[in-house]
Amino acid sequence: MLSSPTIKRPVAERHNADPLRGKARARLGTVTWHAVLGGVAVLMLFPIAWALLTSFKPDNEIYSLAPIADNPTLEHYVYAVTKFPIALLLGNTLIMALGVAVGQILIAVLAAFALVYFRPASRGVFTALLAGALVVPAQTLIIPQFLLTARLGWQNTDIGLIVPQLGACALAVLLLVQHVQNIPASQSNAARLEGAQPHEILFHIILPALRPAISAVFILVFISTWNEYLWPLLVAGRLEDSVAQIGLNLFMTAEGNNYGGLLAAAALTSIPIVIVYLFASRRITDAFLNSGVK
């Protein structure tokens, strides 16, 4: 992302006759730099960090202003795990996120290949339809989407969670179209001359070249589906069939002031993604960056 690191020239040093004064000023600059960035990081992450710290406090300390508990405890985690079907919810969330990510990628790879390789006359129409699908606000379609899902009998099923969210594949398709276009045509032309079928070209030439793009799209779709709230709320409102986001919301409604258990549950539902992010932050931010859209 950043171009090659070059020699850092402290500007202050060169513009000051007195080197000591320059150094002092540079140090002051560093302090301000850390103060601003560190301060913003603390502000932005404070609620989450505070919630995490609180989840280790016993009930009688839960409102205490001390950040670290005097008697740290895991009781809230034990409670959350026993009273709250966390494993089931995380399992359902994983199935939903995997299903949507894999489904969207299958649709997108086939469509992107077809649009670039066969150059159908309908190409412009597809581009317009995809752009339209990309920008239409999800909330304006939930009513007919819900009615259709209910009519199909898909409420409270994995199919009902996954299939309607495949409709949101426009971004994946548009991204992969770009990447397929960037693959040099010479190899597939050569293969075509030797009599290769389109599916052979797709599998042996396009797919291997597309692998990094596919993994970026996978990361993007997986994370946004993992954090999806609205659609599961509509079609999987029952705790036992639902996903982590909805389960957490139900927990909040049911156990209003049991903040210890609630915050522990919140931590458990967020930690998987956060850990993955901390280990692969560069790949994940790159994936988001390539999308250019939230």
- State the nearest-atom distance from the C-beta of 78 to other proteins, in Å: 19
The one among 18, 66, 186, 211 contacting other proteins by CB under 8 A: 186
Tell me the backbone φ, ψ of residue 221, rounded to 5 degrees: -70, -40
# chain residues binding other proteins, by CB under 8 A: 105
Rounded CA-CA distance 119/113 in Å is 9
Q: Does 71 bind other proteins (CB under 8 A)?
A: no
Rounded CA-CA distance 232/253 in Å is 16
284 in Cβ contact with 223 (< 8 Å): yes
Q: Does 3 bind other proteins (CB under 8 A)?
A: yes
**Sites for other proteins among residues 85-104 (CB under 8 A):** none
Q: Residues 153-167, buried b or exposed e (16+ Cβ, 10 A)?
A: ebbeeeebbbbbbbe
Supply the DSSP symbol for 240.
G
The one among 6, 20, 71, 124 contacting other proteins by CB under 8 A: 6
The one among 47, 71, 151, 208 contacting other proteins by CB under 8 A: 47
Q: Does 26 bind other proteins (CB under 8 A)?
A: no
Rounded CA-CA distance 217/221 in Å is 6
The one among 22, 23, 51, 158 contacting other proteins by CB under 8 A: 51
The one among 20, 124, 194, 208 contacting other proteins by CB under 8 A: 194
**Sites for other proteins among residues 270-289 (CB under 8 A):** 270, 273-274, 277-278, 281, 284-285, 288-289
Q: Does 113 bind other proteins (CB under 8 A)?
A: yes
CA distances in angstroms from 160 to 20, 140, 144, 165, 239, listed in the order given: 68, 18, 14, 9, 15
Rounded CA-CA distance 9/7 in Å is 6
Contact stretch for other proteins (CB under 8 A) within 20-28, 68-76, 83-91, 240-248: 240-248
Rounded CA-CA distance 67/52 in Å is 10
Q: Does 226 bind other proteins (CB under 8 A)?
A: yes
The one among 86, 89, 173, 217 contacting other proteins by CB under 8 A: 173
